[in-house]
Amino acid sequence: MSPLNPLNLNLKSKAIVFAACCMLMLAQCATLRQSEVQSWKSSRDSWNSSYSGTTRQGVNDEAALREGQQTTGAAKKSSKRQQQRRQPPKGKKQSGKLSSSSSSSPSSSSSSSVQEQHAEETLGGVMDEEMWDELFPNRLRRGVSGESDFYSFAALVAAAKHFPRFLHEGSELQRRRELAAFLAHLSQETGGFRYLEQITVTRSYSVDNKEYPPVDGKDYRGRGPMQLSYNYNYGQFSSAYFGDKNVLLNNPELLATDSVASFGSAIWFWMTMQSPKPSCHDVMVGNWQPGSMDIDANRLPGFGLTLNIINASQCGKASEHAQKRYDIYDRYCKYFGATKGDACECTDQLPYGKKSF
């Protein structure tokens, strides 16, 4: 019998050999493909690990844009800084007497010590010192040789510690709006934190008040960031901050010399309800809801109502001064990455103190 010759195989045998060869080639291809897939998965996992932070940030930016928040410019810088910030100190529950940062007696020494320290803390987790300097580079006495930076960020932070609820209630969006609203009013009142006292004074702002009587020879003109005025306001704040109403009734000028107390007067006014007016704070963080009389007067929660509380004479009409505040509020909302919310103007609101339109 002659040796096996492939050429002598019948057609069926040839088909079997060909099929076996094809199966071997397919097995080799599958092995190679599996190796390539495993290599690709390893590269993908490595890439995701390296760029997961960027990817998540991109999703967050898109969500912020859907909410109408500004995530460009200063707002992006704000978000970046917040990743490096520590949480602001938790204050004790506010009640009763509020002590001064130094003592219960009027003194400017506390302000001097505050100016010398670097403010490393944030304000409500929203703003830091760099942002403060960016917003108000030309504030009073900043960078002047031999003069203290009266409206310093350190002084503001020190004053805020006396009011634990300030910028610590509501959602993050509400806190951003509250800070934008607060600074919009202060900036307008002080010309961008360049003035300490009311420029034009034609009266003493003294009125009869049994609980907080004015002192002869003293005037209670607008002073400080909120331009606190009238003896009854000086007396109420003095009682809350110093524990003695007579401190500021006898020395109203202190609000132009003690920067911490000066900022404190602005925050106190912002946080304090004076019936029938709610506090600006409660309006901005959603703690206050309008009653039937407020609804009839179109006084609804929003920035516009805070102007009605602070200066009702600018409401119920078109006002150039009011428009400036609206514009500043809009600008600061964008800076802090917040939408403005509803009822941002008081043009159609019944001013407090009036009974009808």
Indicate if the pLDDT at residue 206 is higher than 80: yes
Residues 6 or more apart whose CB falls under 8 angstroms from that of 162 comprise 94, 98, 99, 101, 241, 264, 267
pLDDT tens per residue, range 212-235: 999 999 999 999 999 999 999 999
Please report the pLDDT score of residue 15 as a whole number. 58
Please report the pLDDT score of residue 41 as a whole number. 41
Q: What is the mean pLDDT of residues 94-120?
A: 40
Q: Determine whether 48 is exposed, middle or buried from the number of CB atoms within 10 Å of its CB (0-12, 13-18, 19+).
A: exposed
CB atoms within 10 A of CB 86: 9
pLDDT-above-90 percentage for the chain? 62
Please report the pLDDT score of residue 278 as a whole number. 98
Please report the pLDDT score of residue 121 as a whole number. 79
Indicate if the pLDDT at residue 300 is higher than 90: yes
Please report the pLDDT score of residue 23 as a whole number. 65
Range with top average pLDDT, 5-14, 43-52, 95-104: 5-14
Indicate if the pLDDT at residue 3 is higher than 50: no
Q: What is the mean pLDDT of residues 223-252?
A: 98
Q: What is the mean pLDDT of residues 163-185?
A: 97
pLDDT tens per residue, range 26-82: 555 555 445 543 544 444 343 333 323 332 223 233 333 333 333 334 555 555 554
Please report the pLDDT score of residue 143 as a whole number. 82
Residue 144 contacts residue 308 (beta carbons within 8 Å)? no
Q: Where in the sequence numbering do the catalytic residues fall?
A: 189
CB atoms within 10 A of CB 268: 24
pLDDT tens per residue, range 18-42: 666 556 665 555 554 455 435 444 4
pLDDT-above-70 percentage for the chain? 66
Indicate if the pLDDT at residue 331 is higher than 60: yes
Please report the pLDDT score of residue 91 as a whole number. 37
pTM here is: 0.70
Please report the pLDDT score of residue 75 as a whole number. 53
Please report the pLDDT score of residue 20 as a whole number. 62
Indicate if the pLDDT at residue 247 is higher than 60: yes
Q: Is 123 helix (H, G, I), strand (E, B) or coil?
A: strand
Q: Which residue has the higher pLDDT, 322 or 53?
A: 322
Out of 145-154, 282-291, 301-310, which region has the weakest mean confidence (pLDDT)? 145-154
Where helices occur in the chain by DSSP H, the ranges are 11-66, 74-82, 109-116, 129-135, 153-160, 172-190, 231-242, 246-250, 259-271, 280-285, 292-296, 303-310, 320-335
**Structure confidence at residue 145 as a pLDDT band (50, 70, 90):** confident
Task: For the chain, list the domains and their CATH numbers.
Answer: 74-335 (1.10.530.10)
Q: What is the mean pLDDT of residues 264-279?
A: 97
Please report the pLDDT score of residue 80 as a whole number. 53
State the residue for tokens 């300490």.
196
Summary mean pLDDT of the chain: 78
Q: What is the mean pLDDT of residues 123-134?
A: 96
Residue 178 contacts residue 284 (beta carbons within 8 Å)? yes
